Structure 1
Amino acid sequence: MAFLVFSGGLFPIIFIMLKGKHIILGISGSIAAYKAATLIRLLVKEGAEVKVVMTPLAKEFITPLTLATLSKNPILVDFYNPENGDWHSHVSLGLWADLLLIAPATANTIGKMVAGIADNLLLTTYLSAKCPVAVAPAMDLDMYRHPATQRNLNVLKSYGNWIIEPEEGELASGLSGKGRMEEPEKIVAFLSTLWQEKKDLTGKKVLLTAGPTYERIDPVRFIGNYSTGKMGFALAEEFAARGAEVILIAGPVNLKTISAAIRRVDVVSAGEMFEQVMQFADQCDIVVSCAAVADFTPKEKSGTKIKRGKMDLNLELQPTQDIAAELGRRKKAGQLLIGFALETDDEACNAVLKLRKKNLDLIVLNSLRDKGAGFGGDTNKVTVIDRKEQQFAYDLKSKQEVATDIVDRIVDLLQVK
């Protein structure tokens, strides 16, 4: 079997997964827009239904009539068509689509996607889309390699968008270099792989914790941490995409789940998280403790707001129940326990100690000393350590890509057990 190389990995050249898929093709104002005609023809040939959304400038490079003829659907450019009174809802488009492909994607459109600018129908559709998004850049080599463009592409990757890297070759400017939009045949080959999901966890049940806990001091104050839950939620989606049934115990975060295979239970405090985890743990094949659970909670909690006074406030803390340690104590035969360790010094040593002490099978280590890792961001840099103290170090990646790496390691361990 032949393979293609794109940003994100190797993909086999097979056109078998597009039949019946709803694909929005977004076309921005680039000379490479002429390739959209071939791209539509190939997608329709493989059984996909294609709707085209063009930016106003894209019409200067290829006519809507050509694309409408090939796609067998009206071409959408404006929010409102005064000729027939049609209103083009970007929300409805986002719900209809299985995939949004923006090809060609100019530097201007990519920059607006990153900034959240919504000044045309294509951009509002992008911001509304709940489906996967693939982006095929097309621009001159100096524009492509400009730090601003490279930063924007990295941000789109961190959002979970797929970047179909441009080719090297002769450009419209007469220069030669990287910036040519990938050929339509290769783009279709790439798209076909998006539905070749690994289902290597079908029949498995996963319990996962994510986010922080808040330990109440009084009705308006709490002890907490900077966890956003992004890593845990990315793991939940990855497990679900690979066939697992997922129970997600989430602390207070501003995130939503996408997969219907995820059952979400919201909690606030460490005590609440402990109760919910213990309720479900025995039912699960895999338990992942990704949450940043508070180690201490106030011994006394005030029922009213504590007022500022002249005297210092002494807050007495007591330990919370150690969820990972209790899971290790109760661990059933064949069950996998995975923990996380966020460290600032002696990272590997402290992670191994935690793995041993809490009877874990794997521990995922990240260090606050690594730029781009830890709380708050869209990227992470991890090292996975097993019971034999083997270390598997990964480069800085988006949290979605990190989730794939972690789940791959868990699947490998399942196959050995």
Structure 2
Amino acid sequence: MNAQFASIQRQYSPAAQPLPVSYYEWEYRARQALPNGPFGYIAGGAGSEDTMRANSDAFLRWRIQPRLLNDVSKRDLTVTLFGQTFPVPFLLAPIGLQEIAHPDAESGSARAAAELGVPFILSTPASRSIEKVAEVMGNAPRWFQLYWGKDFDVVASMVQRAEKSGYTAIVVTIDLPVRGWRERDIRNHYYPARAGVGTANFMTDPVFRSKLKQPPEKDMDAAIALFLSIYFNPALTWNDLPLLRQYTKLPILLKGLFAPQDAEMALQYGMDGLIVSNHGGRQLDGELAALDALPKISEVVQGRIPVLMDSGIRGGDDVIKALALGASAVLLGRPYIYGLAVAGEQGVKQVLSNLITDIDLSLANTGRKSISEINRSLLVKAQ
């Protein structure tokens, strides 16, 4: 069903066109390649999309002030998180339903990431299962992003599957108690989850399947109905977090924090890392820009646990600014999905290669030779 759904909604762009370079070129080409529904789902945000604009504008308020005449002939882009050293200071953000962008889906994105050593975070509502993505990645670094739904038996099963399949961290997204008001999806009448898109991790989960009267292969409608009934969990609270510790030894990060008070709570509850994020502007309109929230969160944490950031990362200068304001690393979202939409796995690889080179050149031009040398002194507030 999902393959048929993807095949009828996608319009392929001419393969002979050269691949884009800038973020806006990728976005434009993705718009040409995809129908209104899929493109609106990927590109859109909540309400008037003010939060999306705020994410971009926040980067413009900070300017880089290089220190020159330093030896930057050899540069080091590596970062270390939870005892693992990664070759670049960014990871691929968890984005679900990737089959709506291209038939390669998460498998294509994961292969591209693995080839370049970029850590890949698999989303719960993925188009490819935990095990299939692990298979295409081999020993490459990967994390699993968890939407903590209403049925904890299913939640625990997925976490244990991820740990067994070589994922090395669990990212609990906490800023989706209910779906945001997304006007593009409403206008386009586009609700792919209702057609079973992005349900691979559920349809392959033994605990989820055990709760069905018939397997999904015989009654997909009933399976989709169960998925929709347990996906959101607006009753989730801080007091639920310790329960997850009983089912995994992996580091647990909370994704979606914005308030310094919530960072304090995360420390009190023994979380291993935080991701400052407003879901790329997809959940709440009028929200604070992620980059604006980052410094205060970092100030609270004071280096005790890693603080990552996403929402608005478009180029190497954005990465430099986020690292200077306290991020241990950043997550890349829409840019790589546009690459996927334009050219599948090869498109993702090109986006990642471009960003790696951009970060490397930007680092050298700041007068720094390693990611560890980036700090707040590199930035000044725009006048």
Normalised by the size of structure 2, how large is the TM-score?
A: 0.31
Which one has a larger percent strand, Structure 1 or Structure 2?
1
Bigger Rg, structure 1 or 2: 1
Structure with greater contact order relative to length (CA < 8 Å, sep ≥ 6): 2
Which one has a larger percent helix, Structure 1 or Structure 2?
2
